[in-house]
Amino acid sequence: MADPLIVKICGIKTPAILDAAIEAGADMVGFVHFTRSPRHVSIEDLATLIGEARGRVETCVLLVNPDNSCVAEVAALGPDWIQLHGPESPHRVEAIRAEAGVEIIKAVPIGSAEDVKNIASFVDVADRILLDAKPPKGADRPGGLGETFDWALLEGLDPSIPFLLSGGLTPQTVAEAIRTVRPFGVDVSSGVESAPGVKDKRLIEAFIRNARAAS
């Protein structure tokens, strides 16, 4: 019996959407603390959301190339995970994990076979790996920005490395992604929004339903 699929809904900004994601059966919820993102939440709002989620669902705070004071401030709120979504080196990921005392998800952007080779350098320094689409050149923030990457690239990945799949997933594409790529989890943000940063309860429900059916 394979482990059950992990479904992560990222970029949640309000208690109402947090409740909707939990009720729909999400395993993890993500909050973005990065001012350039339309999904950014302040430290005060993070504290509220993490408090409301505690004991109900695993929480993850997404940071981009954070400095030590930012890491300490977020770690003090007691999230289950910190997700590093910037150009952090393996050494920096290891240092943040040691300093924060919080489990780390490292997002690795995939756009080429070279990027797939790069995944291995993070396996021992992060607790989970998340594979996202490489942002287009000139993008002002990291992440797939709603784009998928060529899943065939992952045929070159060591099959013993488990990963969460992200990047352009939607309620319509998640089942095919799970069947094709066989990730141990899926992560969605813009694919369940009606506008940038605005989550849609029905899209969240459909995404989770379709993901569970495919796994």
Interval 106-122: pLDDT, tens: 999 999 999 999 999 99
Reading the block at residue 214, the tokens are: 């495919």
The pLDDT tens digits for 173-198 are: 999 999 999 999 999 999 999 999 99
CA angle at residue 60 from 73 to 3, to 5 degrees?
Answer: 150
Q: Report the share of the chain in percent with pLDDT over 70.
A: 94
The pLDDT tens digits for 29-75 are: 999 999 999 999 999 999 999 999 999 999 999 999 999 999 999 99
Place of tokens 């729909």: 24
What average pLDDT does this structure show over 142-169? 85
The predicted structure's pLDDT at residue 147: 73
Stated as kind and residue range, the H or E segment containing 103 is strand 103-110
Domains assigned to the chain:
6-214 (3.20.20.70)
The predicted structure's pLDDT at residue 134: 83
Contact of 153 with 118, CB cutoff 8 Å: no
Bridge pairing between strands 81-84 and 58-63: parallel
Q: Please state, in angstroms and rounded to a whole number, the distance separating the CA atoms of residues 113 and 151.
A: 11
End-to-end CA distance of the chain: 11
Whether pLDDT at 142 is above 90: no
Q: Please state, in angstroms and rounded to a whole number, the distance separating the CA atoms of residues 60 and 77.
A: 11
Q: Which of 159, 151, 207, 154 lies closest to 7 in space, CA to CA?
A: 207
Contact of 28 with 7, CB cutoff 8 Å: yes
Contact of 120 with 161, CB cutoff 8 Å: yes
CB atoms within 10 A of CB 159: 8
The predicted structure's pLDDT at residue 105: 98
Q: Which residues are catalytic?
A: 10, 132
